[in-house]
Structure 1
């Protein structure tokens, strides 16, 4: 996706926040997830790889985010799976060099831990204000507070069908924010930044996307 398209989307999705504020939020959210992944994996490069994998999975599996799955738990499971898959791949690489017992593979759990869930929650809390207020509200109440659709629709005085459309659009907007977060320059904050770090981040994302499509 081209940078101008992202910037246009940012302008359409945000009223109270400026483009600069949105970009800074995306950078901060990206950094927070990377900080968690670096602590977990012990490698900046591996953290970047897992972040790209996480975002791609979230985008490709967005159809799974429906009635009973909240965004927080859904994203936490995707991140946990991305970490576990990365660790399995690394373990297989080590197995080629040294013998490993099958039990060592069994220890790579995809169950989210409290620190992982906290990282995802903090990311969501930062991203929500960058959405339209009506989109942020339904994500907050349904996916974070876990209120029922019926209760929220009644409070908003709209039909369940209309509410379903609004929730779908809100989740699509959140998906776009996740993709923008992955493409945002972690140093300067601009999607179209030409610095080496930004170019490297976009290249990582493009390569990961190609691998996902193969």
Structure 2
């Protein structure tokens, strides 16, 4: 066993503990550590400063964990039955009709910002000039407007983003 491999081995328990704190499945955590150590072995010539080995290993492990999360999200999307998913156009129509109906319930400025930026898709600069505020200030107000709209949608339409369902009763309000 080379000095480098011995050094890698000395961090094994520490890396495994870190991976387990980020991944709920112990087997996947062990796989992530194994993958990251293999990457480290393959790329050890890119390590410029041996004193930074620990932080270099953690960075490789963080990237590996991030890749795993991305892959799991992608596979989840691929396994979803396409027949049960509304088309993007259908969802936009449903969302737009709900949003338009809820605009009067929002703060007047927020309603205008949502209408102009989100529904009419006007340029940020144009809307900020009309409101006589800076583009950065408009971005802050847009964020607040979206948050207020989201709260209203959750109250009125029982929008469940986590499950992708929409049970809208805007017409009854």
Normalising to structure 2: TM-score of the pair?
0.41
Which structure carries more relative contact order (alpha carbon 8 Å, separation 6+)? Answer: 1
- Larger CA Rg, structure 1 vs 2: 2
Normalising to structure 1: TM-score of the pair?
0.34
